[in-house]
Amino acid sequence: MIINIKKFFWNNIQKNLIAFMLLFLFTACSKKETLTTASFKTNSGWGYTIAYKEKVLIKQSIIPVISNTKSFETESDALKVADFVKQKLQQNLSPTVTKNELILLKIKL
């Protein structure tokens, strides 16, 4: 009798553990990033966009905070700033970029 009860509880624990692991695996694999970045070509260089669920939130075709209207020289520069702004948005910070931050990111001004 006691052996049957132990088997019953052990089987239930195993089933629940397997169900929990499958649920955990499913939720871990299905988590998608909602903010996406992309670069685009402008007349004088590169710009970037940041989208949420395929809706563009930010479209930046010029380098922010500098006095003249100039696009990013390279695609990688545009994407560096886009990723930086995306991180700020994910941390619920203002997406503004300062000149010092551009210098730290080694963006050609």
**Cα 65 off chain centre by:** 24
Give the per-residue pLDDT at 15: 67
Contact in structure between 77 and 34 (CB atoms under 8 Å):
no
Q: How far, in whole angstroms, is CA 95 from its chain's centroid? A: 14
Give Cβ neighbours of residue 88 (< 8 Å, ≥ 6 apart). 94, 95
Q: Could you tell me the two tokens for 88?
A: 């700020």
Q: What is the mean pLDDT of each run of 10 residues along the chain (109 residues)?
A: 62 66 62 83 96 93 90 96 95 94 93
pLDDT at 100: 95
Tally: H helices and E strands in the chain: 3, 3
